[in-house]
């Protein structure tokens, strides 16, 4: 696979992680460099690790992965989105509680990282079939995801500052929509 094609693949895989980073930045009361780097590193790590895992699992489990990846993404992103909407409704009643919310918890980032990289697992299976250098491919995918997510967190926070308390509500809706998009795209491919 040539570098240009690999970069396009990486950008395609990074879109969900970018959108979730945007949502996180939008919903956060404060965003620090540590938050942006933690988000970008976590998402970049999972986007890089999943193709390697998929590559080595090969075609053995490709049917299982393709059968359930959309359900897993829908469940994980939907659950986080519903939780964010619930928090937004509670915060509208007690706006001073917003400063106590931390969207950038380790558990939240790991769940989001897994949910947004399940498609990368399936890509890894595909890369095994065409016999590419999986380490180089995964490194490029991880770096591009990292860069996209850094921008996503800061860009989302800029918009979140403009939207105020409604940002968490919008962010939750966005996560649910991303989960639904992954689910619907899979259903259309059937």
Q: Each residue of 81-125: pLDDT tens digit?
A: 787 788 778 766 665 544 556 789 999 999 999 988 888 887 887
Within 10 angstroms of residue 65's Cβ, the number of other Cβ atoms is 20
| Structural domain boundaries enclosing 117 | 3-189
Q: Specify the pLDDT at position 69.
A: 72
Instruction: Write the pLDDT tens digit of every residue in 53-69.
Output: 988 887 566 666 667 77
Q: Give the rounded percent of residues in the chain with a pLDDT score beyond 70.
A: 85
So what's the pLDDT on residue 33?
A: 96
Count of domains forming the chain: 1
Half-sphere exposure of 127 (CA within 13 A, CB side): 29
Q: What distance in Å separates the CA atoms of residue 190 and residue 14, rounded to the nearest whole number?
A: 23
Q: Cite the DSSP H helix spans in 28-105.
A: 33-57, 62-93
The DSSP output letter for 141 is H
Q: How high is the pLDDT of residue 60?
A: 66
Predicted pLDDT at 93:
63
Cα angle vertex 5, ends 65, 187, to 5°?
Answer: 35
CA distances from 123 to 43, 55, 149, 154 (A): 16, 8, 20, 28
pLDDT at 41: 98
């Amino acid at each position: 696979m040539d570098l240009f094609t690999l970069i396009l693949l990486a950008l395609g895989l990074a879109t969900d992680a970018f959108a979730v980073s945007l949502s996180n930045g939008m919903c956060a009361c404060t965003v620090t460099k540590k938050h942006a780097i933690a988000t970008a590193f976590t998402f970049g790590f999972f986007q890089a690790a999943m193709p390697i895992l998929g590559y080595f699992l090969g075609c053995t489990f490709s049917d299982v992965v393709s059968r359930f990846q959309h359900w897993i993404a829908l469940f994980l992103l939907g659950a986080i989105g519903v939780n964010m909407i619930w928090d937004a409704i509670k915060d509208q009643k007690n706006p001073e509680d917003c400063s106590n919310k931390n969207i950038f918890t380790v558990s939240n980032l790991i769940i989001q990282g897994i949910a947004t990289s399940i498609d990368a697992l399936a890509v890894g299976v595909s890369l095994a079939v065409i016999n590419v250098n999986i380490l180089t491919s995964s490194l490029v995918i991880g770096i591009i995801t990292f860069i996209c997510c850094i921008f996503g967190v800061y860009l989302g926070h800029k918009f979140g500052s403009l939207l105020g308390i409604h940002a968490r509500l919008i962010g939750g809706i966005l996560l649910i929509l991303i989960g639904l998009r992954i689910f619907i795209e899979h259903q259309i491919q059937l």
